[in-house]
């Protein structure tokens, strides 16, 4: 799913990128094709010099520092080299990962599974991202995760991510 809206002079693009499990297989292939189409759209936005934020559930754990356990996620579509490569192509195209920029050491989670007490043990990972176009990146002042919402009764397994841009 993907939707765009212009808000305060910024194009806000919210997405849910397919999970891709099990991999290998048709679901993983679909995920990679989806990421290729996303890159094409993001290239259009960048070329038009539109201030944009592409955010949402990318279902990609970009780096080992973005998961509580590399071993636990080793066979998951979220950590496969193909998924990570597709994500990093977006960054190489000039997009800025706001959460990673402000938290370069990692350890910032946006997702905790409902299983095995993951929330209580802080066994999370970062799969929700905020990517800023070059026309927006220099306006970044803050970004974060509202973890308090994940701790509420009947909460989503994701916590909201947010970004603050100066005028």
pLDDT band at 127 (very low <50, low <70, confident <90, very high): very high
Q: Which pLDDT score, from 0 to 100, does residue 7 have?
A: 96
* pLDDT of 116 strictly over 90: no
Q: What is the mean pLDDT of residues 75-95?
A: 98
Q: What is the CA radius of gyration of the chain?
A: 16
What is the DSSP track for 24-38? SSHHHHHHHHHHHHH
* pLDDT of 73 strictly over 90: yes
Q: Which superfamily does 2-165 belong to?
A: Endonuclease/exonuclease/phosphatase (3.60.10.10)
- Which pLDDT tens digit goes with each residue over 33-62? 999 999 999 999 999 999 999 999 999 999
Domain boundaries, the chain: 2-165
Contact at 8 Å (CB) between 4 and 43?
no
Q: What is the mean pLDDT of residues 54-74?
A: 97
Q: At what angle do helices 81-92 and 26-47 cross, to 10 degrees?
A: 0
* pLDDT of 22 strictly over 90: yes
Q: Which pLDDT score, from 0 to 100, does residue 38 have?
A: 99
Mean pLDDT of the chain: 97
Could you tell me what percent of the chain has a pLDDT over 70? 100
String of b and e for 96-131 (b: at least 16 CB within 10 Å)? bbbbbeebeebebbbbbeeeeebbeeebbbbbbbbb
Contact at 8 Å (CB) between 95 and 42?
yes
pLDDT band at 88 (very low <50, low <70, confident <90, very high): very high
Q: Which pLDDT score, from 0 to 100, does residue 47 have?
A: 96
Cα–Cα distance for residue pair 80/88, rounded to 1 Å:
12
Residue of 165, 101, 103, 94 lying closest to 136 (CA atoms): 165
């Amino acid at each position: 799913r993907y939707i765009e809206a212009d808000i305060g002079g910024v194009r806000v693009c919210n997405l849910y990128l397919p999970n891709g499990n099990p991999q290998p297989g048709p679901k993983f292939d679909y995920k990679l094709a989806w990421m290729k189409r996303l890159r094409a759209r993001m290239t259009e936005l960048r070329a038009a010099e539109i201030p944009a934020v592409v955010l949402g559930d990318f279902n990609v754990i970009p780096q080992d520092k973005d998961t509580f356990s590399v071993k636990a996620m080793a066979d998951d579509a979220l950590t496969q080299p193909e998924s990570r490569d597709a994500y990093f192509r977006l960054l190489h195209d000039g997009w800025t990962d706001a959460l990673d920029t402000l938290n370069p050491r990692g350890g910032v989670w946006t997702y905790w599974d409902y299983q095995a007490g993951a929330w209580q043990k802080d066994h999370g990972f970062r799969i929700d991202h905020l990517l800023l176009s070059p026309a927006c990146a220099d306006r970044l002042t803050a970004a974060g995760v509202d973890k308090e919402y994940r701790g509420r009764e009947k909460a989503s397994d994701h916590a909201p991510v947010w970004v603050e841009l100066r005028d």
